Amino acid sequence: MPRRSPPPSASITKLLRSLVDTPSRAGEDPLGPVLTRIEAWFDERGLPHRRLCAADGTPLGLHAEVVGRAPLPRGAKRPFYLLNATLDTAAFGDRATWRHRPDRARVQGGWLYGRGAADSKGGAAIFAHLFAAFAARPEACAGRLGLLFDLEEHSGSFAGARRYFEAAPAPRPDGVLIGYPGIDRLIVGSRGFLRAHIVVPGVAAHSGGSTQRGVNAVLRAARLVEALHAAKLPKAAPAGSGFDRPPQLTVTSLHGGQGYTQVPDRCELTVDLRLTPRFDDAAARALVEGVVDRLDRAHEPALASRIDWQPGWPPYRVDEAHPMLRAMREAALQTLGQDLPRAVAGPSNIGNYLAARGIPALCGFGVRARNLHAADECMELATIAPVYLTYETALQRLLGG
């Protein structure tokens, strides 16, 4: 195993500052510069890495891997774990609401401010140094350690991760450790999601007409919104069940009509559903389709609403007995002095995508953070060392020697 040495907190902070100083907002900034910045860091240390790109050459992420050379017991499978973090960020929002510049790292009161400082450039900086530490002594490690930095997480496409995991032959890590922030608990799963685009038809007419009033699609859609909002969802599982998040249904948009003088003949709405083991894909579809069908019966069949389902991801939770979770719990007990509680996240994340591919992922242990996706995002510098040590200890147990 790599020998224990003080965490390289100063070097991690330096790399983090350089990443924050390189804006990489999803859909707004060119993402090549932040990738070039991390590639230069790898090149300076002679670390192996490769750029992940789309067919047209668009940069999608970075992948690196080291294979340990320590002997394995006869017939044993070489353990393979992957560290994952994102290099793109949320938007700045209204700059006037920031006390500190979102595109310049600034330290105040022990906290480092800037967009992406916590989500998740802090995790990327820590993981880069962990990879370097293991790569420096491959003879002390028996397993494979991979590193994946995605440039398309906040866009929702996870294109960098897809480029890596959907290559042929498809990589199959024993587990993935995701560097989302939060030092007080281990996030071991999350709700899934399913989305629907619903088109509600009507019959157009002149809004000033007296004899022909048409069928107002906006009014029909409004009734549908009320019915969906009032729909009964299963309750959350009891505390201690391992998945105590409740399902959710949210109407997220409503659009219809083309001016003052016409009764609208079309209205569209979008619905976001958050899935749990008690409210899965099939149950969510059945609920929405049932509400839509019930309201459609008040009109002739030609005015039936249309539901276009968008692909989603299932809910998931890593089993308590999985070696990755056991190693992180034991490492946290050793480095932090506590058995961290396990929790399931409300928002979905890359862990859901991995779960759909049969790959377990822990989607949350990292630096202490404030104001994610909001003004004055920041992370606490003092948490770099314990987070680094916890991951290092867990990886030593998982990769062996």
pLDDT grade for 1, boundaries at 50, 70 and 90: very low
Give the model's pLDDT for residue 73: 84
Both tokens of 398, joined, read 């998982």
Over range 93-109, report the average pLDDT. 97
Amino acid at 267: C
Residues 25 and 128 placed together within one structural domain of the fold: yes
CATH of the domain at 127: 3.40.630.10
Query: Domain for residue 393, yes or no?
Result: yes
What's the rounded Cα separation, in Å, for the pair 199 and 263? 16
Q: Which of 287, 313, 339 is the last residue of a domain?
A: 313
Give the Å distances, CA to CA, from 41 to 124, 125, 138, 268, 278. Answer: 12, 10, 20, 48, 46
Q: What is the pLDDT of residues 134-153, one digit of tens each?
A: 999 999 899 999 999 999 99
Name the residue range of residue 262's domain: 192-313
- CA-based radius of gyration for the chain: 24
Query: Domain for residue 3, yes or no?
Result: no
Nearest Cα neighbor of 245 from 229, 259, 234 is 234
Q: What is the percentage of the chain residues whose pLDDT exceeds 90?
A: 90
Residues 150 and 18 placed together within one structural domain of the fold: yes
Give the model's pLDDT for residue 2: 47
Give the model's pLDDT for residue 400: 86
Query: How many residues belong to the chain?
Result: 401
Beta strands in 159-256 (DSSP E): 175-178, 186-190, 192-201, 205-206, 248-256
Give the model's pLDDT for residue 236: 86
What's the rounded Cα separation, in Å, for the pair 173 and 261? 60
Cβ contact 184:342 at 8 Å: no
Determine what percent of the chain falls in helix, strand and coil, rounding each to the nearest 5.
30, 25, 45
Residues 186 and 328 placed together within one structural domain of the fold: yes
Residues 107 and 198 placed together within one structural domain of the fold: no
Residues 330 and 253 placed together within one structural domain of the fold: no
Q: Is the pLDDT of residue 309 over 70?
A: yes
Residue 156 burial by Cβ neighbours in a 10 Å radius (0-12, 13-18, 19+): exposed
Q: Is the pLDDT of residue 387 over 80?
A: yes
CATH of the domain at 220: 3.30.70.360
What's the rounded Cα separation, in Å, for the pair 344 and 10? 32
Over range 386-396, report the average pLDDT. 97
Enumerate the β-bridge partners of residue 147.
64, 83
Residues 58 and 168 placed together within one structural domain of the fold: yes
Sequence-separated (6 or more) residues with CB below 8 Å from residue 21: 103, 104, 105, 114
Give the SS3 label for residue 211.
coil
Number of domains in the chain: 2
Q: What is the pLDDT of residues 217-263, one digit of tens each?
A: 999 999 999 999 999 999 988 877 889 899 999 999 999 999 999 99
Question: What phi, psi does 269 have (nearest 5°)?
Answer: -140, 155
Q: Which of 313, 331, 361 is the last residue of a domain?
A: 313
What's the rounded Cα separation, in Å, for the pair 24 and 35? 9
Give the model's pLDDT for residue 401: 57
What is the pLDDT of the chain when averaged over all its residues? Answer: 95
Q: Is the pTM of this model over 0.95?
A: no
Residues 38 and 171 placed together within one structural domain of the fold: yes
